């Protein structure tokens, strides 16, 4: 890993030296709250980058989200995610890969709902790190909150596209850098130092177009946005900020004192769904069949095949 002072996402890369927007951002995991990183914005594609080097093995060793378990509240959020996939054509017999599945809660949820062909891959979780999972092809490849963690998001997206069956669907959920500022309300999207490169919508669409993927839909809500009280992006982000700006708070029992300390949270709990947060996107692409594939996708497939040998 190296210091990032040049954008690695666009054709006319901006630099840290020429950036007009940058800010020190503290880590939002309780164990590392004292660690501060510089986030800067590319003046061309509007993506955000974490400047400093970071020993990520240390930061991931006790990562809070690895302790996440499927519970009724999370199941409600996942039901929302599932509805979005069904609109894109997901069926119970569809082969689906959740790339970067973490503790596998979404795979568990899908299987309980009858999607027996759902599977997961995560290089950092022993149960899901089998490399042969990336040698297969799937009707759906979904990747939620992953590409922004990659040192090379373009290569990560290429790998995702390679796993999609021709005619299949790729779904990428990620923060949208163009709609993120350095204000406390975006503490979860900035998420330093884990989020190495946060793509703007334009940057993501350009990378996927270069790969020959056809854009199907852009959904600008976080999947946890539901009408259920307390289960929307505005409330979740506001609660995390009021609880000290740490991700850990979202995996712990709700603290009444935090709710009382920020009266606006009660409003967001009941009405946040009607005021969508701006900082996320869920984008669906269709991989063309071989008859439809252009040179970008063909070249990528050839390169991935060579690398796999």
Decide if 99 contacts 141 (C-beta within 8 A). yes
pLDDT of residue 295: 54
Give the span between the Cα atoms of 116 and 127, in whole angstroms.
17
CATH class entry, domain 63-308: alpha beta
pLDDT band, very low/low/confident/very high, at 124 (cuts 50, 70, 90): confident
Decide if 247 contacts 188 (C-beta within 8 A). yes
For 64-90, the pLDDT digits (tens) are 888 889 999 999 999 999 999 999 999
- The domain limits of the chain are 63-308
For 233-284, the pLDDT digits (tens) are 999 999 999 999 999 999 999 999 999 888 899 999 999 999 988 899 999 9
For 128-179, the pLDDT digits (tens) are 999 999 999 999 999 999 999 999 999 999 999 999 999 999 999 999 999 9
For 179-211, the pLDDT digits (tens) are 999 998 899 999 999 999 999 999 999 999 999
The helices-and-strands tally (H runs, E runs) of the chain is 10, 10
Q: Are strands 48-50 and 197-198 parallel, antiparallel or unpaired?
A: antiparallel
Give the span between the Cα atoms of 161 and 287, in whole angstroms.
8
Task: Indicate the pTM of the whole model.
Answer: 0.91
């Amino acid at each position: 890993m190296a210091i990032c002072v040049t954008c690695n996402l666009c054709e006319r890369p901006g630099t840290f030296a020429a950036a007009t927007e940058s800010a020190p951002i503290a880590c939002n995991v309780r164990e590392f709250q004292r660690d501060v990183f510089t986030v800067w914005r590319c003046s061309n594609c509007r993506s955000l980058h974490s400047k400093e080097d970071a020993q990520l093995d240390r930061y991931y060793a006790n990562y809070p989200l690895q302790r996440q378990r499927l519970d009724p509240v999370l199941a409600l959020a996942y039901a929302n995610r599932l509805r979005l996939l069904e609109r894109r054509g997901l069926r119970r017999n569809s082969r689906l890969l959740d790339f970067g599945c973490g503790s596998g809660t979404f795979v568990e949820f899908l299987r309980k709902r009858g999607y027996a062909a759902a599977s997961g891959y995560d290089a950092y979780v022993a149960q899901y790190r089998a490399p042969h999972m990336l040698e297969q092809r799937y009707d759906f490849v979904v990747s939620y909150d992953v590409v922004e963690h990659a040192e090379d998001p373009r290569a990560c997206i290429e790998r995702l596209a390679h796993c999609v069956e021709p005619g299949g669907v790729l779904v990428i959920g990620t923060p949208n850098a163009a709609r993120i500022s350095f204000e406390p309300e975006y503490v979860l999207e900035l998420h330093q130092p884990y989020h190495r490169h946060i793509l703007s919508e334009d940057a993501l669409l350009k990378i996927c177009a270069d790969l020959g993927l056809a854009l199907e839909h852009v959904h600008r809500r976080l999947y946890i946005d539901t009408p259920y009280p307390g289960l929307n992006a505005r409330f979740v982000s506001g609660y995390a900020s009021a609880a000290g700006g740490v991700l850990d708070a979202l995996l712990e029992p709700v603290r009444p004192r935090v709710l009382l300390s920020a009266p606006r949270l009660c409003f967001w709990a009941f009405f946040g769904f009607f005021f969508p947060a701006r900082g996320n996107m869920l984008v669906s692409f269709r991989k063309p069949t071989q008859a439809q594939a252009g040179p970008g996708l063909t070249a990528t497939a050839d390169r991935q095949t060579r690398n796999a040998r």
